Structure 1
Amino acid sequence: MNHKTALTNNIMPLPQSNVTQLYWKNLPALLNPTAPKSQTLEGFDNEFIDIVDYIIRITHRIWEQKNVGLCNNYYAEYCPVHTLGAYADAVSSVVTGTLQTISAFPDRSLIGENVIWRDLGPDQGYYSSHRITSIMTNKGLSEFGEATHKTGRVTTIADCVCFENKIVYEWLVRDNSFLVKQLGIEVLDASEHFAKIPTHPKFEEWRQAEICRVRAQQQSEHQYKTPVDKAVLEFSSKWLDTLFNQKNFGKANVFYHINAKLQWPGGRQAVGIPGIKGTIIQWLASCPDAQATCDHVCAVPFEQETDVVDIAIRWSLTGTFSSKDKKLSAYCGQNFFILAASHLRLVSGKIAQEWTVFDEVAAYANLIRDFNSTNDNSGAK
Structure 2
Amino acid sequence: MNETNKVFYGDNSLVNSAIWRDYNDYANLPSKNKQELIGFDPKYKDFVDYILKITHEIWEEKGIGVIYDTYSNDVQLHLSSQTLAGIQGVIKGTLETLHAFPDRKLIGQNVVWAEHYGGALLSSHRIFSTATNLGDSSFGPATGKNISYRTVVDCAVYENRIFEEWLVRDNLWIVEQLGINVHELAKKMALATKNNPLSLQKDFGIPESMEGQFFPDIYKAKDSGVGEMIIEMISNVWGRKYINEVKKYYHENAVTHFICNKELNGHDDIQGMLISLFAAFPNAAVVVDRVSCNEREEKNTWDVAARWRIKGIHEGIGFFGKPSGQKVEFMGINHYTITEDKIKEEWMTFDALDVLRQIYMGIED
Q: TM-score band, normalised by the shorter chain?
A: 0.7 to 0.9
In structure 2, the partner of 1:345 is 337
CA contact (8 A) 1:299 1:312 kept: yes
In structure 2, the partner of 1:239 is 233
CA contact (8 A) 2:231 2:291 kept: no
Find the aligned partners of 2:200 and 2:280 in 1 and give their Cα distance.
22
- 1:113-262 to 2 correspondence within 5 Å? 113-121=109-117, 123-197=118-192, 203-206=199-202, 208=204, 212=207, 231-262=225-256
Find the aligned partners of 1:295 and 1:196 in 2 and give their Cα distance.
30
SS in 2 for 1:265: coil
Q: Which sections of structure 2, spanning at least 5 residues, go unmatched?
A: 1-10, 215-221
Find the aligned partners of 1:146 and 1:40 in 2 and give their Cα distance.
46
CA contact (8 A) 2:208 2:285 kept: no
SS in 1 for 2:135: coil
298, 307, 312: which is aligned to 1:314?
A: 307
Q: Residues 202 and 47 from structure 1, CA distance in 2 versus in 1: closer, same or farther, beyond 3 angstroms?
A: farther
Q: Give the partner amino acid of 1:175.
A: D
CA contact (8 A) 2:209 2:284 kept: no
Q: Give the partner amino acid of 1:159.
A: D
- 1:326-365 to 2 correspondence within 5 Å? 329=322, 332-365=324-357
SS in 1 for 2:338: strand
C-alpha distance after superposition, 1:185-226 (max 9, x if no partner): 2221232233344598664234506x6467679xxxxxxxxx
Given the alignment of the two structures, is residue 305 of structure 1 paired with residue 301 of structure 2, yes or no? no
Q: Give the partner amino acid of 1:314.
A: R
In structure 1, the partner of 2:4 is none
- CA shift, 1:309, in A, is 0.5
SS in 1 for 2:89: helix
- CA shift, 1:34, in A, is 4.0
SS in 2 for 1:95: helix
Find the aligned partners of 1:345 and 1:327 in 2 and give their Cα distance.
28
Q: Give the partner amino acid of 1:288.
A: P
C-alpha distance after superposition, 1:48-83 (max 9, x if no partner): 121111000000000011111211111100001011
16, 21, 36: which is aligned to 1:40?
A: 36
SS in 1 for 2:293: strand
In structure 1, the partner of 2:359 is 367
- CA shift, 1:127, in A, is 0.6
Find the aligned partners of 2:305 and 2:279 in 1 and give their Cα distance.
25
C-alpha distance after superposition, 1:82-128 (max 9, x if no partner): 1125432111110001001111111111100000011114x241010
TM (normalized to structure 1)? 0.83
55, 61, 65: which is aligned to 1:59?
A: 55
Q: What RMSD, in angstroms, separates the aligned Cα atoms of the two structures?
A: 2.7
CA contact (8 A) 1:78 1:89 kept: yes
Q: Residues 200 and 89 from structure 1, CA distance in 2 versus in 1: closer, same or farther, beyond 3 angstroms?
A: farther
Q: Residues 79 and 41 from structure 1, CA distance in 2 versus in 1: closer, same or farther, beyond 3 angstroms?
A: same
- CA shift, 1:175, in A, is 0.7
CA contact (8 A) 2:23 2:56 kept: no
Q: Residues 213 and 51 from structure 1, CA distance in 2 versus in 1: closer, same or farther, beyond 3 angstroms?
A: farther
C-alpha distance after superposition, 1:3-57 (max 9, x if no partner): xxxxxxxxxxx7454x422235753232345437711111110111211110000
C-alpha distance after superposition, 1:116-161 (max 9, x if no partner): 011114x241010000001111122222222221111110000110
Q: Residues 85 and 183 from structure 1, CA distance in 2 versus in 1: closer, same or farther, beyond 3 angstroms?
A: farther
CA contact (8 A) 2:189 2:357 kept: yes
State the percentage of identical aligned residues.
Answer: 31
Find the aligned partners of 1:273 and 1:349 in 2 and give their Cα distance.
16
- CA shift, 1:291, in A, is 2.0
CA contact (8 A) 2:282 2:316 kept: no
Find the aligned partners of 1:61 and 1:241 in 2 and give their Cα distance.
38
Q: Which sections of structure 1, spanning at least 5 residues, go unmatched?
A: 1-13, 218-227, 376-381
- The structure in which a higher percent of residues are helix is 1
SS in 1 for 2:162: strand
Farther off after superposition, 68-77 or 23-32 = 23-32
CA contact (8 A) 2:280 2:319 kept: no
Q: Residues 150 and 144 from structure 1, CA distance in 2 versus in 1: closer, same or farther, beyond 3 angstroms?
A: same
- CA shift, 1:281, in A, is 1.1
Q: Give the partner amino acid of 1:171.
A: W
Q: Residues 105 and 247 from structure 1, CA distance in 2 versus in 1: closer, same or farther, beyond 3 angstroms?
A: same
CA contact (8 A) 2:276 2:318 kept: no
In structure 2, the partner of 1:4 is none
SS in 2 for 1:361: helix
Find the aligned partners of 2:309 and 2:114 in 1 and give their Cα distance.
20
In structure 2, the partner of 1:220 is none
- 1:19-98 to 2 correspondence within 5 Å? 19-24=15-20, 27-32=23-28, 34-35=30-31, 38-84=34-80, 86-98=82-94
- CA shift, 1:327, in A, is 9.2
Q: Residues 120 and 16 from structure 1, CA distance in 2 versus in 1: closer, same or farther, beyond 3 angstroms?
A: closer
